[in-house]
């Protein structure tokens, strides 16, 4: 009886500790994505990582450690994808590519009509 009670207590403590550890890793992954510039270069992946992380933190406060753990792992995966997408964006569309500059045509200026320019006989 005592052994099962100790195992239950240790098991619940391990879930909380594991969830906290995974949450910390998720936070670091999201921070790494921010440092890589994923907010602008990979907004879809970055947004998913942030939302999964926030939901994982919320579930952790409700002591739903299993769900928190899964959500934090999803946050880590999306943050890693955001960093990869940022690296791909830099490689494919780097600073060295300059967009083509097109010269705009200026509209012809209309000359104002004055009475001197109008031939009243033609009307």
Radius of gyration of the chain (CA): 31
CA-closest candidate to residue 45, choices 59, 36, 19: 36
| Eight-class DSSP state of 42 | S
Determine the pLDDT at residue 28: 96
CA-closest candidate to residue 56, choices 25, 86, 83, 89: 25
* 28-42 confidence digits (pLDDT tens): 999 999 999 999 999
- Average pLDDT, stretch 3-30? 74
In the chain, where are the structural domains located? 14-90
Determine the pLDDT at residue 41: 92
What's CA 62's distance to the chain center, in Å? 26
Answer whether 50's CB lies under 8 Å from 101's CB: no
Q: Tokens for 96?
A: 């060295």
pLDDT of 88 over the 60 cut: yes
Mean pLDDT across the chain: 79
- Report the predicted TM-score, pTM, of the whole model to 2 decimal places: 0.63
Burial class, 4, CB count within 10 angstroms (exposed 0-12 / middle 13-18 / buried 19+): exposed
């Amino acid at each position: 009886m005592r052994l099962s009670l100790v195992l239950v207590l240790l098991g619940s403590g391990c879930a909380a500790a594991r969830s906290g550890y995974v949450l910390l890793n998720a936070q670091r992954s999201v921070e790494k994505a921010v440092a890589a510039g994923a907010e602008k270069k990979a907004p879809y992946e970055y947004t998913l990582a942030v939302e999964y992380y926030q939901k994982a933190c919320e579930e952790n406060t409700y002591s739903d450690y299993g769900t928190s753990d899964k959500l934090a792992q999803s946050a880590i995966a999306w943050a890693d994808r955001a960093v990869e997408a940022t690296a791909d964006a830099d490689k494919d569309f780097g600073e060295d590519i300059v967009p083509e500059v097109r010269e705009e045509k200026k509209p012809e200026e209309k000359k104002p009509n004055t009475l001197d320019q109008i031939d009243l006989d033609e009307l």
